Amino acid sequence: MQNKMTPHIRSKIQGTGRTQQTGWDPVPQADPEAVRNLTFQQFSATNLQRCNRWHAEKPWHLADWVVAFIGEFGEACNNIKKLKRIEDGIQHIGMSEDVLHAELAREIADAFIYLDLMASAAGVDLVAAVVEKFNVVSAKYDFPERLCLPDTSNQIPE
């Protein structure tokens, strides 16, 4: 696989911490408190910053981001398919349920990262779009849950 890569792509992979012989270098564990306090805006800004570093020479078209997102979402679906087979007692050869679940988390993360970059490529403020759509659906079905309203009605009911 790596022999087919262009030198441009190979150099980008080397810059990410991936090694030719061992795969991925060990990644330091994130601080759980920092994870709890991370805002979506901080994540999205860092995601876009890394993307611009990675794709500075040849930015991707929106269609490239869509395909990347769907590819990762498909990988998550494949893990769900395998977990469902285990749940249904269908013979399954391969990863254990625990490993599949851990892989599912990684694939969902991959999809989420690409979804954010897809929104950026489309010029969409993903958080603002999600808040607006969430509140539209709540209003349509008369649910009390609302996000980010300027008064006390944005409190989630107990």
Of 62, 75, 77, 126, the one binding Mg ion by CB under 5 A:
75
Burial (0-12, 13-18, 19+ Cβ within 10 Å), 64: middle
Q: Give residue number: closest CB to Mg ion.
A: 110
Q: Which is nearer to Mg ion, 12 or 146 (CB)?
A: 12
One-letter amino acid at 155 equals Q
Site string for Mg ion, 101-120 (x = CB under 5 A): ------x--x----------
Asked if residue 58 lies in contact with residue 140, where contact means CB atoms within 8 angstroms, the answer is: no
CB atoms within 10 A of CB 119: 20
**Cα-Cα-Cα-Cα dihedral of 94, 100, 104, 105, to 10°?**
-140
Which one of the spans 16-24, 52-60, 73-81, 117-125 is the region binding Mg ion (CB under 5 A)?
Answer: 73-81
- Choice between 70 and 147, CB closer to Mg ion: 70
Part of the chain binding Mg ion (CB under 5 A), chosen from 10-18, 38-46, 71-79, 141-149: 71-79
Give dist(CA 101, CA 130) in Å, integer: 27
Residues that bind Mg ion (CB under 5 A): 72, 75, 107, 110
